[in-house]
Amino acid sequence: MAPTARNVPALLQGLRAEGFSGTVRVSGLPGGAIHLRNGLVGAIETPGAPTATSALLTSGRIGDEDWLAACAAEPDADRLAGHLVAEGLIGAAELEVVCTAAVFDAAFAMALSPPGSWELSDREPALVAEPGVEPRQLTEETSRRMTLLSRLWGPPGELTRVRPAPVAGAGPRGSDGWLARRHRDVLDSVNGRRTPRDIAFALGRGLYAVMLDLIRMEALHLVQWETRTTADGRPSTAPRVPQAGATTAAPAPTPVPAAPDAAPLPKRRPGGVSPAQDVGQQKKGGW
Amino acid sequence: MGEMTTALQASLDRLLDSPGVTGVALVDAVTGLTYATAGDIAEAGDGPEVSEFATLIAERLGAAGADGELESVVTTTTKRHHVLFSVARPGGDPLILAAGLDRDRVNMALALRSLGDRASEVLA
Amino acid sequence: MTEIPPPDSLTGILASLRERVMGVSESVLSTVDGLLVVADTDTVHPESVAALAAATLGVGRRMAETAGVGALREVVARCGSGHVIVVAVGDRALLTVKGDDGLDLAAFQRESPATVEQLTKALASDVAH
């Protein structure tokens, strides 16, 4: 029986000591399911970030049909990794990287909103990283990411809610040939509707990685943060751009004037107090 | 870590056989996450620093008009070389193999060539 | 729990659903006759969705009846790279929602009744004017 824990990280530490294998379901927005194997985190499923499976399929690294055939041949997802490798669909080391990256990304995604309650249950098959990630390492890396984003941009919880749009007249598409391929893909995915999480799912990439790329591209004046308005036209209560002035729901965003310097100075956003929906950075109980 | 050695770990362990290599790490070029290390971790370098450094170089080169993707970066001090190699990967975000090389022990050109060849197969 | 009052317009309600439920990408409000009422879309063709929605729900209902499993709640099509959900809005309208691979289905099922109710009210007040 798991000891009563203050928060999810403490719970995971306790379960690590016990060598627990099973599932921790955490409620929240988003919640998620943490799949533990002998106390280590093998996989995390959350609507907040693509799973390893989602990343593999969306990116086309593994074809849909090959995937479905593999699942049919190996119904216990815990053994699926070995099967995929044995079938030559992906290398063992590469799959390890994908699964490990997904665990860290999902932990980060879940830490972006206040956690709810949790409950333990039995093992549910999942495509797991083997042997799995140490909970302590997960917590430390998540904290590091939060701190870095706060320094580079502002409250990470708010970054999840921006809907970036391309900057009009950012230059003819040909001239961004020097952009890294992944930056170009992100740019193609940015449309004023999608949040960073939506873009991550659309591209089959990690949420945190997409956020970093978006921040970089905003610094390069290729994307701009949309202000958060509803289609109603109610003005956003949390201005996202440094320029003061109420934002109304103009159908097309007004381009943000380019900052005079091109160097990637960290940009501090205004306090960004928004009622009700501000999930902020309450660390109590968080990752 | 656990008792078993994973395929990735074994792959990095083998790199320690490469002449002059003191430590290696496989790092995510975007997030700075370190997926595995072998040998002297301090020699290999800190994940987030490695990724930030590689990104900076790649962008500066790109902005200066260089074509193509970054392949490697070699930083040399009196005692050692520190090397970053792009790791070939069929899909997904770019990876970097970071390695420390002991200058005294080795012919750098050969060492770099040897390690560079092996780097491209880290995920195989 | 959000304290912001529900938006007044139909499109506002659709956009609000997108804000509240992770993974909702687009949505279409249509009539049982297959006509488009209003849409919050990006890539899908709203009129085509409207034309299909009524048929989708109709078949779903008949299947539920045939299988003897009670009244249909919603049709969820789980697909390779996302989801499509069709749910009735009152007697005369339908809501079709496109979600991505990471759609929070549990959250959708929690939030959709309220959305359906808001839409029903907004439609009724439209009719009243």
Range of lowest pLDDT (A147-161, A229-243, C91-105): A229-243
Closest partner residue to C103 among A47, A232, A276, by Cβ? A47
CATH number, position B105: 3.30.450.30
Closest partner residue to C80 among A64, A194, A230, by Cβ? A64
Claim to verify: residue A44 and residue A83 sit in the same structural domain? yes
List the single best residue of B24, B30, B60, B70 to mutate versus A (max A Cβ within 10 A): B30
Residue B107 binned pLDDT confidence (cut-offs 50, 70, 90): confident
CATH number, position A197: 1.10.10
Residue A263 binned pLDDT confidence (cut-offs 50, 70, 90): very low
The SS3 of residue B41 is helix
- Average pLDDT for residues B4-9, to the nearest whole number? 90
Give dist(CA A106, CA A126) in Å, integer.
14
Inside any domain, residue B66: yes
Inside any domain, residue A250: no
Inside any domain, residue A278: no
The distance of A231 to chain C (nearest Cα, Å) reads 5
Convert B91-122 to b/e letters by CB count within 10 Å (16 or more is b).
Answer: ebbbbbbbbbbbeeebeeeebbebbbebbeeb
Claim to verify: residue A134 and residue A73 sit in the same structural domain? yes
Range of lowest pLDDT (A1-5, B119-123, C104-108): A1-5
The SS3 of residue C13 is helix
Residue A254 binned pLDDT confidence (cut-offs 50, 70, 90): very low
User: What is the domain count for chain B?
Assistant: 1
Q: Which domains does chain C have, with CATH numbers?
A: 10-124 (3.30.450.30)
Range of lowest pLDDT (A171-175, A238-242, A251-255, B89-93): A251-255
Closest partner residue to A212 among B30, B89, B92, by Cβ? B30
Chains meeting A at 3+ CB pairs closer than 8 A? B, C
- Average pLDDT for residues A36-54, to the nearest whole number? 97
Residues A190/A223, Cβ–Cβ less than 8 Å: yes
Inside any domain, residue A135: yes
So what's the pLDDT on residue C7?
72
Residue A171 binned pLDDT confidence (cut-offs 50, 70, 90): low
Inside any domain, residue B2: no
Inside any domain, residue B83: yes
So what's the pLDDT on residue B4?
73
Claim to verify: residue A54 and residue A110 sit in the same structural domain? yes
- Average pLDDT for residues A171-182, to the nearest whole number? 65
Claim to verify: residue A84 and residue A16 sit in the same structural domain? yes
Claim to verify: residue A165 and residue A132 sit in the same structural domain? no
* Pairing assessment for the beta strands C74-79 and C93-99 based on DSSP bridges: unpaired
The distance of B53 to chain A (nearest Cα, Å) reads 14
Inside any domain, residue B124: no
- Average pLDDT for residues A46-71, to the nearest whole number? 96
Secondary structure of A8-76 in the HEC alphabet? HHHHHHHHHHHCCCEEEEEEECCCEEEEEECCEEEEEEECCECCHHHHHHHCCCCCHHHHHHHHHHCCC
Claim to verify: residue A81 and residue A207 sit in the same structural domain? no
Q: Domain end: A208, A224, A240, which one?
A: A224
Range of lowest pLDDT (A48-57, A165-174, A256-265, B84-93): A256-265
Flag whether residue B109 sits within 8 Å of chain A, measured between CB atoms. no
Residues 6+ apart with CB under 8 A from A48: A30, A32, A106, A109, A110, A112, A113, A160, A197, A207, C22, C102
Residue B18 has pLDDT above 70, yes or no: yes
- Average pLDDT for residues A126-131, to the nearest whole number? 94
Residues B93/A206, Cβ–Cβ less than 8 Å: yes
Residue A3 binned pLDDT confidence (cut-offs 50, 70, 90): low
So what's the pLDDT on residue A227?
57
Domain that holds residue B33: 7-119
**CB-CB neighbors (< 8 A) of A262 in chain B:** none
Q: Domain end: A144, A172, A205, which one?
A: A144
**CB-CB neighbors (< 8 A) of A32 in chain C:** none
- pLDDT per residue as tens, chain C (129 positions): 544 556 779 999 999 999 999 999 999 999 999 999 999 999 999 999 999 999 999 999 999 999 999 999 999 999 989 999 999 999 999 999 999 999 999 999 999 999 999 999 999 886 665
So what's the pLDDT on residue A145?
98
Inside any domain, residue A276: no
Q: Domain end: A104, A124, A144, which one?
A: A144
Q: Do B62 and A148 touch (CB under 8 A)?
A: no
So what's the pLDDT on residue B66?
78
User: What is the domain count for chain A?
Assistant: 2
**CB-CB neighbors (< 8 A) of A101 in chain B:** 28, 31, 33, 35, 92-93
So what's the pLDDT on residue C105?
94
Inside any domain, residue A140: yes
Q: Do A47 and C14 touch (CB under 8 A)?
A: no
Q: What percent of chain A has pLDDT above 70?
A: 74
So what's the pLDDT on residue B77?
87
Residue A44 binned pLDDT confidence (cut-offs 50, 70, 90): very high
User: How far from chain centre, in Å, is Cα C61?
Assistant: 16
Inside any domain, residue B1: no
Token readout for B85 is: 């190699």
Residue A55 has pLDDT above 50, yes or no: yes
Residues A87/A231, Cβ–Cβ less than 8 Å: no
Residue B50 has pLDDT above 80, yes or no: yes
So what's the pLDDT on residue A176?
58
| Beta carbon pairs, A and B, within 8 Å | 82
Residues 6+ apart with CB under 8 A from B38: B9, B12, B13, B15, B16, B23, B24, B25, B44
So what's the pLDDT on residue A255?
41
Packing angle between helix A8-18 and helix A135-152, nearest 10 degrees? 160
So what's the pLDDT on residue B70?
85
Interface of C with A in 66-105 (CB under 8 A): 80-81, 100-104
Claim to verify: residue A25 and residue A130 sit in the same structural domain? yes
So what's the pLDDT on residue A253?
40
The distance of A168 to chain C (nearest Cα, Å) reads 18
List the single best residue of A26, A194, A201, A236 to mutate versus C (max C Cβ within 10 A): A201
Q: Could you give the residue ranges of the DSSP H alpha helices within chain A?
A: 8-18, 52-58, 64-73, 80-86, 92-111, 135-152, 156-159, 181-189, 196-203, 207-219
Domain that holds residue A169: 156-224
So what's the pLDDT on residue A173?
53
Q: Do C15 and A230 touch (CB under 8 A)?
A: yes
**CB-CB neighbors (< 8 A) of A212 in chain B:** 30-31
**B116 or A178, which is more confident:** B116
CA dihedral A119, A122, A127, A128 (to 10 degrees): 80
* Residue B114, H or E segment: helix B108-119
Question: Cα-flanking dihedrals φ and ψ of residue B54, to 5°?
Answer: -60, -40
So what's the pLDDT on residue A30?
86
So what's the pLDDT on residue B44?
87
Token readout for B21 is: 């290599």
So what's the pLDDT on residue B106?
67
Q: Do A30 and C4 touch (CB under 8 A)?
A: no
Tell me how far apart the terminal alpha carbons of chain A are, to the nearest angstrom. Answer: 22
Claim to verify: residue A160 and residue A63 sit in the same structural domain? no
Token readout for C22 is: 């992770």
Range of lowest pLDDT (A3-7, A31-35, A58-62, B38-42): A3-7
So what's the pLDDT on residue C16?
95
